[in-house]
Amino acid sequence: MRYLIPILITFCFISCNDASKAPEKTFFSQEKARVLQKAEEYIDLKPITVTATISERSTGGIHDFYSEGDYWWPDPKNPEGPYIRKDGMTNPDNFTAHREAMIRLSQICGALASAYRVSGDEKYVTAILPHLNAWFVDEATLMNPNLLYGQAIMGRVTGRGIGIIDTIHLMEVAKAISAIETSETVSKTDIKKLTDWFATYLDWIFTHEYGIAERDNGNNHSVCWALQASVFADLIGDEEVKAYCRNMYKTALLPEQMAENGSFPLELERTKPYGYSLFTLDAMTALCQELSTPKDNLFTFSTPEGKGIEKGLAFLYPYVKDKSTWPYKEDVMFWEEWPVKHSSFLFGGLALRNEAYLDLWKSLDADYDNPEVVRNMPIRYPLLWVD
């Protein structure tokens, strides 16, 4: 059950209902104009799937998603040997075509499904279906429902559990399917074929050794595993998985990854502490958005030590509002590109009725195009996340 924003009962001179819904109305109005514009940009684009480009370095087949570890480089002392790691330094010669195609799919589906939600115009559903069919149904072009070859490292591994983070860009594709499933343009049979693909993939990340390794990784990767599992489970109606992820958030993610001041120490230790902190906060807040219920509000939940997403938002808020006050080291790459329109302050602002967070979200840039930023911003269409 997606999070339903509670209506606060207040006593004032204006209508209680009007007052409580004002932030949602402002958010809806701002997003409506943006998604309709984006949808028109994407409406005539043709599908591009993993079968359009093949890497000679992949040990998989034409239907297998392939990517390479971002921070792995040729060893200057042994150019033909195994790659070496340079944390935070993205190798520009990596194969990225499949990731780019998946991000493109997410952008297209997110925009078209959001436009359908705000307008009810079936033309957006008609436009989205060829992309969904090409990626998940058509046997000539579909992607296999696993990530056996994600984030490979030359000379070391043909794939890793860490690669599962690449499919965070399928979350808004899953959300898009949910948004159009009652459309008169799409049949129940079509929806069933799509949800079957996601059910198979969800089972794979739960049971394969790569999925288990990613779940237990211990930093933002574990958060993103739980977020993906929650979103895919919501699409297929798997309440057991959602309950598992809700418990994981309370008993593992918060206690093990958040400090008592609301920071994320594992991310602050990285060479890009600012960007990684923002990324983790976005993912954790989205997890709260996805899994909260009227009886179990994760936005207000805290551990016995007082750790909770309210502290996470409060910790990063001043450094997003004014990055010059950031007291830690600067990111080794892309420092100037952050912050952008982070969903954490929208979701947190709506759930906690915090106008300062909402004002900050409204002020941030939604038209970013740097590939590194786009890669780390999987939540681009919040209309798909907010009821």
Q: Is the pLDDT of residue 283 over 90?
A: yes
- Residue 8, pLDDT score: 33
Using CA atoms, how far apart are residues 207 and 182, in angstroms rounded to an integer? 31
pLDDT at 63: 98
Q: Place 70 in a pLDDT band, splitting at 50, 70 and 90.
A: confident
Would you say residue 320 has pLDDT above 60? Answer: yes
Half-sphere exposure of 358 (CA within 13 A, CB side): 15
Whether 90 has a pLDDT exceeding 90, the answer reads: no
Asked which of 86-100, 212-226, 320-334 is least confident by mean pLDDT, the reply is 86-100
332 with 89: CB under 8 angstroms? yes
Q: For residues 202 and 211, what is the distance between their CA atoms, to the nearest angstrom?
A: 9
Residue with tokens 């049971």: 207
User: Residue 322 is which amino acid?
Assistant: D
Q: pLDDT (tens digit, 9 = 90+) per residue, 179-214?
A: 999 999 999 999 999 999 999 999 999 999 999 999
Residue 27 has pLDDT above 90, yes or no: no
Q: Which residues contact 41 (CB under 8 A, 6 or more apart)?
A: 111
Q: What percent of the chain has pLDDT over 90?
A: 87
If phi > 0 it is left, if psi is from -120 to 50 it is alpha, else beta; for residue 74 that is beta
Question: Which pLDDT value is given to residue 387?
Answer: 81
The amino acid at residue 213 is A
* pLDDT for 349 beyond 80: yes
| Tally: H helices and E strands in the chain | 15, 4
Query: What is the average per-residue pLDDT within 170-175?
Result: 98
- Tell me what the mean pLDDT of segment 368-376 comes to: 94
How sure is the predictor about 30, in pLDDT bands with cuts at 50, 70 and 90? confident
pLDDT band at 323 (very low <50, low <70, confident <90, very high): very high
| In the predicted structure, residue 104 carries a pLDDT above the cut 60 | yes
Assign 23 a pLDDT band (cuts: 50, 70, 90).
low
Structure tokens of 43?
Answer: 């409406």
**Model confidence band, residue 341 (pLDDT cutoffs 50, 70, 90):** very high
Mean pLDDT (the chain, rounded)? 93
Residue 150 sits at φ, ψ, to 5 deg, of -80, 135
Looking at residue 152, its pLDDT comes to 93
When mean pLDDT is compared across 71-75, 193-197, 292-296, the lowest value belongs to 71-75
Q: Which residues pair with 68 in a beta bridge?
A: 152
Contact, 215 vs 226, CB < 8 A?
Answer: yes
CA–CA separation, 115 and 149 (whole Å): 34
